[in-house]
Homo-oligomer: A and B are copies of this chain.
Amino acid sequence: MDLPDSPPASDPASASASDPDTPGSPIPVGVLGGSGYTGLEVTRLLARHPAVELRFTSSRSEKGAPSPAPGLPFTAPDPVAAAEVEVLFLCLPHGEAAAWVEALRSSGKKPPRIIDLTADHRPGSGREAGAVYGLNEWSRPQLAGAEFVANPGCYPTGVLLSLLPLVDAGLVDVERLTVVSAASGVTGAGRSARTDLLFAEVANNFRAYGWGNRHRHLLEMRALLPGVDLLFQPHLLPVPRGITETIVLPVRECVDASAVRSSWDARYSGEPAIRLVGDRLPALDEVVGTDLLALGAVELQDVREPAVLVGAALDNLGKGAAGQAVQNLNAIYGWPTEWGIRCA
C-alpha cells in the first residue's frame, strides 16, 4: 500500500508519452460490472473521455442490452477481453474484484492497469498491499504510472479530503472526538434487489445505519487518519444520489473556521474537482450529477469547547466513485485532471 506521503510509485513518463494537454491516440479501456450504478456512471464518463476508447462494458445480468455508451451493448464478462485493454475498471460487487485482480496479475502476461472501484483493496481491507490508494488530489504523485489503484469509498473521499489538510496543518485536536454525521442517497448501497431499498420503503423515510461506529468505511478513514478519534454515523436519504457530511471538528485553541478554509485554499487552489464554498455548508444539489467535492466551514457561536463546523458534499457516483476513478486514470497518464469529468 502506498500511503499518500510516500514517493511516487513509478515514473509517470513510463505510462504514456502523450502530450499532457491534447489527447494522443486513444488508450483502450474496459469496464467489468458496467450495469451497477457505479458501473453505469463509469461507462458514461469513459464513453465521453477525450483520450480513451471504451472497448467493452460487461454485465452478467444485462448482456446484450444497451449500455450508456452509444453503440456499445453490455457484453458478458470475458477474461480475454479484460486482459487486452490497457486500463481495466472494476465495478463489480464488493468481494468479487479480488479474484479478478489475482487472476489478471498472476497470469504471466503483462496485465492491464487496474482501477478497482470495489472495497476489496482499500486501506483497512487487509488486501491493500500493492495498490495505490487513489485519493486523487492527495495521492497524485503516487498515481503517476500506477499499475493498480484502489479507488476510495464514497464516504471516505469526503471525510479524508476535508480532514487530511487540517490534520496535516496541525489544526485538529486529535484527542477529542471528531463527529461525522453523514447522509447518502440510495445508489450508495448498490443496485441489488433488496426489500429495504424498494421505493415504498425508502420514500418518506430517513434512517441511520451502521450505528455505533460499525460502518466498514470507518476502517478506510482510520487508516489514513491514524491519530484521530473518529465517530462516523451514516444515514440513508430518500434521494437517488449524493452525500453530505457534516463534521464537528475539535480544533486546537485559537483555530477558527477561517484557518480551516485557508488550509484548504493552500492545498486545493486550482483543483478543478474541489469547490471551496466558503463560510457556509454546501447542499446536495450543488454537486449531484457532477464530479465535484464541495467544502465549506463555519464558525460555531456560543460553544465552550473549541470546534469548527465543516460541511462536505459530493455525488457518491461522481467524485465518490466514477469521477475520482477517471481523475485517477488521468493521473496515471499525466493528463489534466479535468479530462472526462464534470466540474460544473
Contact = CB atoms under 8 A, between A and B. Distances in A.
Given A211-B298, A229-B305, A191 B183 contact: no
A327 interface: no
Nearest to A243: B206
Contacts of A246: 181, 208, 233, 235
A301 interface: yes
Interface stretch (A83-91, A110-118, A155-163, A195-203): A195-203
Contacts of A238: 199, 203, 237-239
Nearest to A194: B193
Nearest to A212: B298
Give the contact-size bracket for chain A.
35 or more
A248 interface: yes
Count chain B CB atoms within 10 A of each CB in A175, A198, A231, A250 and give the residue with the most. A198
Interface of A: 37, 68, 70, 175-177, 179, 181, 183, 185-187, 191-195, 197-208, 211-214, 218, 229-231, 233, 235, 237-242, 244, 246, 248, 250, 280-281, 283-285, 288-289, 298-305, 307, 309, 311, 344
Contacts of A68: 344
Instruction: Please provide the 7 A-B residue pairs with the shortest distance between their CB atoms, ordered closest to farther.
Output: A207-B283, A181-B181, A199-B202, A208-B281, A193-B193, A200-B240, A205-B285
A256 to B, nearest CB: 11
Nearest to A207: B283
Nearest to A222: B302
A285 B196 CA distance: 12
A43 to B, nearest CB: 12
A199 B203 contact: yes
Given A70-B344, A176-B305, A183-B235, A207 B244 contact: yes
Nearest to A177: B305
A289 B289 CA distance: 10
Contacts of A304: 175, 177, 229
Nearest to A204: B239
B175 A213 contact: no
A204 B305 contact: no
A191 B198 CA distance: 8
A212 B278 CA distance: 13
A248 B207 CA distance: 16
Nearest to A296: B211
A299 B231 CA distance: 11
A197 B198 CA distance: 6
A203 B240 contact: yes
A307 B177 contact: yes
A282 B199 CA distance: 19
B203 A203 contact: yes
A344 to B, nearest CB: 6
Contacts of A307: 177, 231
A147 B309 CA distance: 42
Contacts of A183: 183, 206, 235
A186 B204 contact: no
